[in-house]
Amino acid sequence: MLVYGGGSIKKTGLYEEVAAAMQAGNISFTELAGVQPNPRIDSVREGVRRCREEDIGLILAVGGGSVIDCAKAIAAGFFYEGDPWDFFTYSARVTKALPVGAVLTLAATGSEMNVNTVISNDQTQEKIGIGSKHLIPRFAILDPVYTFSVPAEQTAAGAADIMSHVFEQYFSANDGAYLLDRLGEAVLKTCIHFAPIAIKEPENYEARANLMWAGTIALNGLLSTGKETDWATHGIEHELSARYDMTHGLGLAILTPRWMEYVLSDKTAGKMAEYAHNVWLVHDSDNFEAARRGIQLTREFFHQIGLKGSLKELGVTVESLPVMAEKAAAYPIGRFKQLNADDVLKILQSAY
Ligand code: NZQ
Ligand code: ZN
């Protein structure tokens, strides 16, 4: 089953290329089109039903993270008798899945080489991610040329997502992961260097190739090996995209500098200064000063690539802030600094 999104692959000609390759290999296929950004559980349900009816042996996702995530959830749902949403409420575990292949068209999530799938439910206004080794794609094709057509906003949002994946793993309470942190810094510098180039010159192969590679490395499990990771910013952002269908990377770009400011303390200043020194080449010897400068440069970078606006400007209502804070921190989140619902509310308010 060929799974794809709203039609970008038809506009770019990739659809024809994939179909021709299948025909050349004598592989018959059916299609599930129209997977939305922030993929919905309804698409997963439909995919499961169709895979069963049509006796599908492999799911080929051609698209960005949303398409790949939807394909993974369908693959897991195929072998589960109940409603696939049960995986996302943790009332069922993935024990088996159809094989998934991916042809990536947008550098961002790392879904092409990781265990995760993130699915939204309009009825419950939830967006939840799960992970299972059964969901790692069997193969992924990453041709930077397929990302030439990604619009500027999505290129920027993708870069912010990649950077956020590094932050969630880099800002860790436990130290002693020297190599991993240097690798993370390299991914960050790659995004900072190449995202503006890819936005200005969408067909710059070197920029697209480096961003694509960065996206995969940022979230394929490597950077978190042996580390305590944070993931609070992602938890908060998922509330925004669940309720407001916001672009994931845009939400992250707005929240990240606010989260950084909020968690800056005697305990965290050293690590945040390390980020400022190594990524932004900030020279202040005072940890707090360096950390603040690093945060400011992070915010300016997101603005420079077009990711700006307050939550209010993006249509978020003030009444929803406490609701989202309660949901995001139903139990304490974050390991770099643990956050409760009050903390999350303050971060959301500072982004409002
Ligand atoms: O639907 P089509 O027409 O393909 O258009 C898409 C969509 O509108 C378009 N696009 C993709 N490739 C294109 C292109 N347009 C022109 N040319 C191309 N080559 O871009 C739009 C966004 O696509 P989407 O797949 O939603 O973007 P992304 O890759 O950023 O995925 C975001 C989703 O992944 C989840 C996010 O929460 C969100 O739901 N995440 C998944 C993760 C994972 N599986 O590990 C981790 C992340 O933290 C994230 O939560
Ligand atoms: Zn993300």
**pLDDT tens per residue across span 300-329:** 999 999 999 999 999 999 999 999 999 999
| 3-state class (DSSP) for residue 38 | coil
Residue type, 81: E
Q: Do 209 and 305 fall within a single domain? A: yes
Using a 6 Å CB cutoff, which residues line ligand 1?
A: 5-8, 12, 37-38, 63-67, 69, 105-106, 108-111, 114, 116-118, 129, 146-147, 149-150, 154, 158, 161, 219, 234, 241, 248-249
> What is the CATH classification number for the domain harbouring 155?
1.20.1090.10
Ligand nearest to the CA of 219: 1
Q: Which of 119, 142, 165 is the last residue of a domain?
A: 142
Ligand nearest to the CA of 112: 1
Q: Do 24 and 84 fall within a single domain? A: yes
Q: Do 8 and 119 fall within a single domain? A: yes
Residue whose CA is at the smallest distance from ligand 1 atom 40: 109
Residue 175: predicted pLDDT: 73
Residue type, 120: S
Task: For residues 120 and 42, give the distance between their C-alpha atoms in angstroms, rounded to a whole number.
Answer: 9
| CA 204 to ligand 2 centroid distance, Å | 24
Task: For residues 38 and 48, give the distance between their C-alpha atoms in angstroms, rounded to a whole number.
Answer: 18
Q: Which of 69, 124, 46 is nearest to 248 (CA)?
A: 69
Atom of ligand 1 nearest to the CA of 9: 4
Task: For residues 60 and 140, give the distance between their C-alpha atoms in angstroms, rounded to a whole number.
Answer: 9
Residuewise pLDDT in 10s, the chain (352 residues) = 999 999 999 999 999 999 999 999 999 999 999 999 999 999 999 999 999 999 999 999 999 999 999 999 999 999 999 999 999 999 999 999 999 999 999 999 999 999 999 999 999 999 999 999 999 999 999 999 999 999 999 999 999 999 999 999 999 977 789 999 999 999 999 999 999 999 999 999 999 999 999 999 999 999 999 899 999 999 999 999 999 999 999 999 999 999 999 999 999 999 999 999 999 999 999 999 999 999 999 999 999 999 999 999 999 999 999 999 999 999 999 999 999 999 999 999 999 9
| CA 230 to ligand 2 centroid distance, Å | 12
Q: Do 264 and 338 fall within a single domain? A: yes
Residue 173: predicted pLDDT: 78
Q: Do 101 and 161 fall within a single domain? A: no
| Domains of the chain: total | 2
Mutate which of 74, 114, 154 for ligand 1 pocket (most atoms within 8 A of beta carbon): 154
Q: Which of 263, 261, 262 is nearest to 337 (CA)?
A: 263
CB atoms within 10 A of CB 163: 28
Q: Do 158 and 128 fall within a single domain? A: no
Task: For residues 272 and 257, give the distance between their C-alpha atoms in angstroms, rounded to a whole number.
Answer: 12
Element (H, E) at 1: none
Residue whose CA is at the smallest distance from ligand 1 atom 20: 154
Q: Which of 122, 142, 162 is the last residue of a domain?
A: 142
Q: Do 276 and 305 fall within a single domain? A: yes
Q: Do 246 and 271 fall within a single domain? A: yes
Q: Which of 142, 161, 192 is the last residue of a domain?
A: 142
Atom of ligand 1 nearest to the CA of 149: 17
Q: Which of 106, 119, 320, 108 is nearest to 217 (CA)?
A: 108
C-beta of residue 110 within 8 angstroms of C-beta of residue 220 = yes
| CA 191 to ligand 2 centroid distance, Å | 14
Q: Do 130 and 173 fall within a single domain? A: no
Q: What is the mean pLDDT of the chain?
A: 97
C-beta of residue 41 within 8 angstroms of C-beta of residue 88 = yes
Q: Do 173 and 285 fall within a single domain? A: yes
Q: Do 323 and 239 fall within a single domain? A: yes
Residue whose CA is at the smallest distance from ligand 1 atom 16: 150
Q: Which domain holds residue 110?
A: 2-142
Task: For residues 280 and 297, give the distance between their C-alpha atoms in angstroms, rounded to a whole number.
Answer: 7
> What is the CATH classification number for the domain harbouring 101?
3.40.50.1970
Task: For residues 171 and 174, give the distance between their C-alpha atoms in angstroms, rounded to a whole number.
Answer: 9
Residue 7 dihedral angles phi and psi, to the nearest 5°: 125, 0
Ion ligand 2 — residues with CB < 5 Å: 161
Task: For residues 67 and 105, give the distance between their C-alpha atoms in angstroms, rounded to a whole number.
Answer: 10
Q: Where are the alpha helices (DSSP H) in 150-228?
A: 152-170, 178-200, 205-218
Q: Do 87 and 192 fall within a single domain? A: no
| CA 339 to ligand 2 centroid distance, Å | 19
